[in-house]
Amino acid sequence: MRCEVVAIGTELLLGQIVDTNSSWIGEQLALAGIDSHFQTKVGDNLDRIVSSIRLALDRSDAVIVCGGLGPTQDDITRDALAQIMGVPLVRDEEVIEKIRAMFEGRGRVMAANNLQQADVPEGATVIDQVGTAPGLICPVGDKVVYAVPGVPSEMEVMVARDIIPDLKRRSGEEAVIVSRVVRTWGIAESTLAEVVGPRLEAMADGGRVTYAFLASGWEGIKVRLTAKAHTVDEATALIEAEDAEIRALLGTLVFGVDDDTMESAVGALLEERGLSVAVAESMTGGMVASRVVDAPGSSDWFRGGVVAYESEVKFDVLGVRRGPVVSAECAEQMADGVRRVLRSDVGLSVTGVAGPAEQEGQPVGTVFLGIALGESTESIELHLGGGSRIRIRQFATISLLDQLRHRLLGLPPVPN
């Protein structure tokens, strides 16, 4: 069973509203073991809506159409479905009474425009409404089109309560799809694909787990593993086995899965070791501290931060010796200084040149990270040129946390 999603609304194309409905529906289809290969967005135009739904029907067994069931002139999904089915619209008196009762229950009078929400393509089945708009189940030959409102709270009830069970009944197959996102940092997408390439080739014939690579900026490269099986336990076992394979290939480049973040991974290591951390930031301007406090439970291990943006703050607050501030020596002294000032077990620091021009003879993208841990203080030099100012700051932030992760694991600094 293959099911597509068609989201209707010109506002989606203009970017005025983000289409979260399609992603939610896609997730529910996956959980139910129903394949979904395409999602489409189309504006409020009858011909284009009809064309989009027909194309979806050509490719799939079922289509979920989301939006365009309201009471205004641009709500034309019902008209499109009637045209596709080749039938007239018929006004459903029972639906009218339900809508009227909703308005009366709120002490209001139903507007005449709401009557069009009771127009149903002849031969379609009404899905009991949550708001004023009912959903529809429209047979088209041996295929089916479902229509649901665009209001998320209404759509979600209808999809979960009515559509998913109906799709599973029609498919006659009990299956589930399970996915896991393996999260990595410190490797380019092309290099990652090369490393994992032999594994993908080995799975090309008959492999039951599929791979997808998702470049996600300063969140790293994500590798999504997806397995389809008869039960959740069987699909999960396939994912677990493939997770072990990819970790064997990538090693400590993997820092977590699914909702794990670099800061939560670092926080877990600090908590395990009973260590606290403080950070001194120059070019990142508080970005590291902001990421750290996003991690749940960070109050247990994060002491605080010093944004030493101006050179005098580095000298006066952190005790950095006067001299070049874009240097390995400055980064090390900042890390030592913030550990001393905030009485933490670990001190981190970052200084560098985010742009727009070089500083102290250092080109844009030059970054020095400092880590004071145990009896040693060290610095790492990075070269992050070729990106925007914000990208350099973001990559410096996540790189600092990743370098600390490696040190807490007892590994040497990650090469630039």
For residue 397, what is the domain's CATH number?
3.90.950.20
**343 burial class (0-12, 13-18, 19+ CB within 10 angstroms)?**
exposed
Could you tell me if 126 and 180 lie in one domain? no
Looking at the predicted structure, is the pLDDT value of residue 415 above 90?
no
State which residues form the domain around 372. Answer: 273-408
Q: Point out the domain boundary residue: 171, 190, 214.
A: 171
Q: What is the mean pLDDT of the chain?
A: 93
C-alpha 207/C-alpha 326 separation (Å) is 50
Phi, psi of 313 (to 5 degrees): -70, -40
Contact 272, 244 (CB under 8 A): no
Structure tokens at 298: 């960070």
- The predicted model gives 107-135 an average pLDDT of 92
Q: Report pLDDT digits (tens) over 246-302.
A: 999 999 999 999 999 999 999 999 999 999 999 999 999 999 999 999 999 999 999
pTM of the model: 0.72
How confident is the model at residue 172, as a pLDDT?
A: 83
Q: Report pLDDT digits (tens) over 301-311.
A: 999 999 999 99
How confident is the model at residue 202, as a pLDDT?
A: 79
Q: Per-residue confidence at 206, pLDDT binned at 50, 70, 90? A: low
Q: What angle do CA 268, 274, 279 make, to 5 degrees?
A: 75
How confident is the model at residue 205, as a pLDDT?
A: 61
- The predicted model gives 309-331 an average pLDDT of 97
Could you tell me if 182 and 166 lie in one domain? no
Q: Point out the domain boundary residue: 171, 204, 234.
A: 171
Could you tell me if 284 and 242 lie in one domain? no
In the chain, the number of structural domains is 3
Could you tell me if 45 and 65 lie in one domain? yes
Could you tell me if 49 and 67 lie in one domain? yes
Phi, psi of 369 (to 5 degrees): -110, 145
Q: Report pLDDT digits (tens) over 3-45.
A: 999 999 999 999 999 999 999 999 899 888 899 999 999 999 9
Could you tell me if 203 and 75 lie in one domain? no
Q: Point out the domain boundary residue: 208, 233, 257.
A: 257
> Is residue 79 in a domain?
yes
How many helices, marked H, and strands, marked E, lie in the chain? 14, 17
Work out the number of other CB atoms within 10 angstroms of the CB of residue 244: 9
Work out the number of other CB atoms within 10 angstroms of the CB of residue 237: 14
For residue 22, what is the domain's CATH number?
3.40.980.10
